Amino acid sequence: MKADKILCRGSWSSIHGAGKEEHILSMITIENDQFSAEINRLGAELTTLTRKADGRQYIWNDTEGKYWGRHAPILFPSIGKSNNDQYTLAGDKFGMKQHGFARDYEFSSVTKEGTNSVTLTQHANGETEASYPFAYALSVTYTLTASGLEVSYTVANGDDKPMPFALGSHPGFALSQPLENYTVTVNGAKTPLTKFGIGPVPFRNGAVEPFTEAKGNTVPLSHELLDDGLIIINAPEATSATLAANDGSYSVELSLQDFPYLTLWSPEHKNAPFVCVEPFNGLPDQAADAPTDWFKKAGNTTLAANASATFGYTATLN
């Protein structure tokens, strides 16, 4: 079968498709009639998502270098910050940076399906094994549809031992109006909404408390709300979350069936023109003086030996 073309730019790498190896550039472009998207092999990070009809850009890009230099990083094998930047496995300590390391390494294998879909895979290496002693493989598939984007993650454990991890998506959405003109509605969630207590930022404090600023299952956004740091909504029953402009001119709906927690964040005290609406399958550490045992950590998934698990969400764009 003939390999389909993927448009690319950046530094040279390699791509595999239809049994054929080709040389490509590190920024991969996929497209269909409605949308185009760019993905960086570094971290398999979605960097642009554009509606062709009017050029609307959904993903944040810090062209001025003032706010946040990322776009939509993948968080693995950790979410948030670890106590003392460490964690434990069976009593042994390992170092772990905030949000893990997957976003900072290339996804060395790239497989394409037509012009609208691509799968990127990252494998364990000597550096990752020093802080995460598992033969993992992390794959992400991006597929453009007529209504938006489908994102699917597969985590594989190649070891003969259980493997604990957390997985999250951290997309930043560009806003054309002030943040105060938008809401996030957590569809299907029990009301009143609850959130995890945070303190000191960015750690959890162990409490689950009422989200008093929410109105039913809708959160009116504002910089005042987010200037105290991230908000993690506890919503295991939620089916989706919708970021929407009050005037009806814009919406992004993210399905949440595989992600029991939803995080809201914008850089503190910067009045940034974007907001992150983040599906989480995992949680930051609860603040403590000692590292957390990942086999006992709240929110973590433990994958059996030589097993795999798939998580996904769709982004419906209007």
DSSP 192-219: S-EEEEE-STTSEEEEEEE-TT-BTTEE
**pLDDT at position 20, please?**
30
Domain parsing of the chain, residue ranges: 7-317
Residues 191-213 pLDDT 10s: 999 999 999 999 999 999 999 99
DSSP letters of 40-76? ETBTTEEEEEEETTT--B-B---TTSSS-S-SS-EEB
CA-derived radius of gyration, the chain: 19
**pLDDT at position 25, please?**
55
Tokens of 243: 């970021």
| Per-residue pLDDT tens digits of the chain, which is 318 residues long | 233 333 333 333 334 343 333 334 589 999 999 999 999 999 999 999 999 999 999 999 998 899 999 999 999 999 999 999 999 999 999 999 999 999 999 999 999 999 999 999 999 999 999 999 999 999 999 999 999 999 999 999 999 999 999 999 999 999 999 999 999 999 999 999 999 999 999 999 999 999 999 999 999 999 999 999 999 999 999 999 999 999 999 999 999 999 999 999 999 999 999 999 999 999 999 999 999 999 999 999 999 999 999 999 999 999
Measured CA to CA, the distance from residue 6 to residue 315 in angstroms comes to 22
| The model's pTM | 0.92
Q: Determine the distance from the C-alpha atom of residue 264 to the mean position of all C-alpha atoms in its chain, rounded to a whole number.
A: 12
C-alpha dihedral (106, 301, 113, 25), degrees to nearest 10: -10
Fold for the domain defined by 7-317: Beta-galactosidase; Chain A, domain 5 (2.70.98)
**pLDDT at position 5, please?**
30
Measured CA to CA, the distance from residue 235 to residue 247 in angstroms comes to 26
**pLDDT at position 259, please?**
99
Strand 92-95 and strand 292-293: pairing? unpaired
To the nearest whole number, what is the mean pLDDT of the chain?
A: 93
